[in-house]
Amino acid sequence: MDKFVIKGGPRLQGEIPIGGSKNSALPALAAALLTDEPVTLRRIPRVRDIRTMQRLLVDIGSHAEVDGETIRLDTPRIVSSEAPYELVKTMRASSLVLGPLVARTGRARVSLPGGCAIGARPINLHLHGLEQLGARIHQSHGYIEAEAPEGLRGATIHFDRITVTGTEDLVMAAVLARGETILRNAAREPEVADLCALLVKMGAQIEGAGTSTIHIRGVEKLHGADHTIIADRIEAGTFLIAGAITGGDVTIADCVPEHVGALVAKLLQAGAEVTQTGATSVQICAPKRLRSVDVTTEEYPGFATDLQAQYMALMTQAQGIAIVVETIFENRFMHAQELARMGANIRLEGRQAIVAGPSELTGAGVIASDLRASASLVLAALAARGETVIDRVYHIDRGYEKIEAKLARVGGQIRRVE
Ligand code: EPZ
């Protein structure tokens, strides 16, 4: 298993280019199942989760041609409507093929994704929505079987709670349903809007994408399309925090500044100078001493739960007490113990983490757990005195393309050890 060896200390300086969004690419890949014509997707990040989804689509019947960051998917026919446990257990986003498979073939057999490090993460809202669209759902042997032999019909669906992939799954089911579907309390994440932009290019009729009420008018058939994925706002946020935690001066290029608005507001309150230097670039100049600022994670446009771990690492270096509240997942503080091993002063109380700073971090041997917790360990290591070895970096490779190369180009002393 690969490890990262990081020597803390250098102030990061320079420009980091941001890649395409993993969480936009995953539903976009699944959307290719909705048509028998070729779909070309550009700016696809070369990360593990994308390769996993690609393998799943090929098993289902897609022909995939990869050329750098462009994937051309052609699914003339579905040969298997099944997402096997072996794949789903490695990536829960495999449940994104549920909606497209039921919409295209009238059936799907998808392994129930187990829980994961950050929580139980059920898909009950996905299934309930499919039932309201007329699918019959049956669960056995750890698999979900969804059937709609007469096709799906439009319905009004009100989500009990906001779910990103639940919204995406049901948008993809509804675009080929008979009649109109209204999704209420839908997720407003940019990745949902990006998926809808692709579907509209494919001929779908969707209004309200990016708002909490999405109107879909079903159509007979969708055609192929060519779509470029939006920039990864979580990668952008992670590198903004890398600039802040090292007292550096870093410009994030090729991003969507608006998508990191909640984080930028916190960094400004903490005393950093953050300026939009162009349509797709944001510069951060860190202050000598950061101020502690509380944060509560919320659905978009609130502060992203996927940046909570990285922000917690930053607050270990800030002056004062920061209260970090995680409202989206029930167990997303694993990074706290690892940060504490490096010298951080963090007290956990249920959904709250109380971070007292600044505390001097020293390099240590730590273990990555989930994707974003691992990113927070990288950030802490950049600010720690001495050397940190992070084991199991495959967690990081799931969602960050060549993170060590991007950090090294702005002065980070980080190398991958096979
Ligand atoms: C998406 O996961 C992202 N993944 C996650 O990013 C992100 O953390 C999450 O949204 C929240 O923003 C992808 O887009 C591939 P949810 P998702 O459904 O859709 C509960 C990363 O690091 N819930 O919005 O699975 C659920 O347990 C990953 O890139 C139900 O109870 O998240 C959670 O507490 C991690 N029943 C809350 O809702 C359901 O049917 C939000 O989950 C669905 C969700």
**Average confidence (pLDDT) over 332-340:** 95
CA distances from 15 to 43, 276, 327 (A): 19, 13, 33
Q: Tell me what pLDDT residue 119 has.
A: 80
Q: Tell me what pLDDT residue 288 has.
A: 92
User: Could you state, in order of their start, the residue ranges of all structural domains in the chain?
Assistant: 3-19+231-417, 22-228
Quote the mean pLDDT of the chain: 96
To the nearest whole percent, how much of the chain has pLDDT over 70? 100
Instruction: Say which residue, 85 or 52, is predicted with more confidence.
Output: 52
Residue with tokens 């199991």: 392
Q: Tell me what pLDDT residue 414 has.
A: 98
Q: Tell me what pLDDT residue 1 has.
A: 85
Tokens of 312: 């917690």
Q: What is the residue-wise DSSP string for 170-206?
A: HHHHHTTSBSEEEEES----HHHHHHHHHHHHTT-EE
| pLDDT tens-digit readout, 120-169 | 788 999 999 999 999 999 999 989 999 999 999 999 999 999 999 999 99
Q: Whose CA is nearest to atom 13 of ligand 1?
A: 23
Q: 3-19+231-417, which class in CATH?
A: alpha beta
Q: Tell me what pLDDT residue 87 has.
A: 85
- Residue 363: band (very low, low, confident or very high) from pLDDT cuts 50, 70, 90: very high
| pLDDT tens-digit readout, 221-268 | 999 999 999 999 999 999 999 999 999 999 999 999 999 999 999 999
φ/ψ bin of 106: left (φ > 0), alpha (ψ from -120 to 50), beta (otherwise): left
To the nearest whole percent, how much of the chain has pLDDT over 90? 92
Compute the distance between CA of residue 64 and CA of residue 182 in angstroms, rounded to an integer: 33
- Residue 88: band (very low, low, confident or very high) from pLDDT cuts 50, 70, 90: confident
Q: What is the DSSP letter of 62?
A: -
Q: Tell me what pLDDT residue 235 has.
A: 98
**Average confidence (pLDDT) over 354-369:** 94
Tokens of 4: 């990262």
Q: What is the residue-wise DSSP string for 260-271?
A: GHHHHHHHHHTT
| Residue 23 confidence (pLDDT) above 80 | yes
| Residue 117 confidence (pLDDT) above 90 | no
- Residue 352: band (very low, low, confident or very high) from pLDDT cuts 50, 70, 90: very high
- Residue 35: band (very low, low, confident or very high) from pLDDT cuts 50, 70, 90: very high
Closest alpha carbon to 238 in 413, 333, 368, 378: 378
Can you tell me which atom of ligand 1 is nearest the CA of 49?
15
**Average confidence (pLDDT) over 105-115:** 88
Q: Tell me what pLDDT residue 115 has.
A: 67
| Residue 33 confidence (pLDDT) above 90 | yes
Tokens of 3: 């490890």
**Average confidence (pLDDT) over 316-345:** 96
- Give domain 22-228's CATH architecture: Alpha-beta prism (3.65)
- Residue 370: band (very low, low, confident or very high) from pLDDT cuts 50, 70, 90: confident
**Average confidence (pLDDT) over 389-394:** 92
Alpha helical stretches, state H, 223-274: 233-245, 261-269
- Domains 3-19+231-417 and 22-228 agree in fold: yes
Active-site residue flag, 285: no
Q: Whose CA is nearest to atom 14 of ligand 1?
A: 23
Q: Tell me what pLDDT residue 327 has.
A: 98
Alpha helical stretches, state H, 8-107: 22-31, 48-60, 85-88, 98-105
Lining ligand 1 with CB less than 6 A are: 23, 26, 93, 119-126, 161, 163-166, 191, 305-306, 328-329, 371-372, 399
**Ligand 1 center to 165 CA (angstroms):** 6
Mutate to test the pocket of ligand 1, among 130, 169, 328 (most ligand atoms within 8 A of CB): 328
**Ligand 1 center to 163 CA (angstroms):** 6
**Ligand 1 center to 323 CA (angstroms):** 23
Compute the distance between CA of residue 83 and CA of residue 91 in angstroms, rounded to an integer: 11
Q: Tell me what pLDDT residue 116 has.
A: 74
| Residue 207 confidence (pLDDT) above 80 | yes
- Residue 292: band (very low, low, confident or very high) from pLDDT cuts 50, 70, 90: very high
Q: Tell me what pLDDT residue 418 has.
A: 87
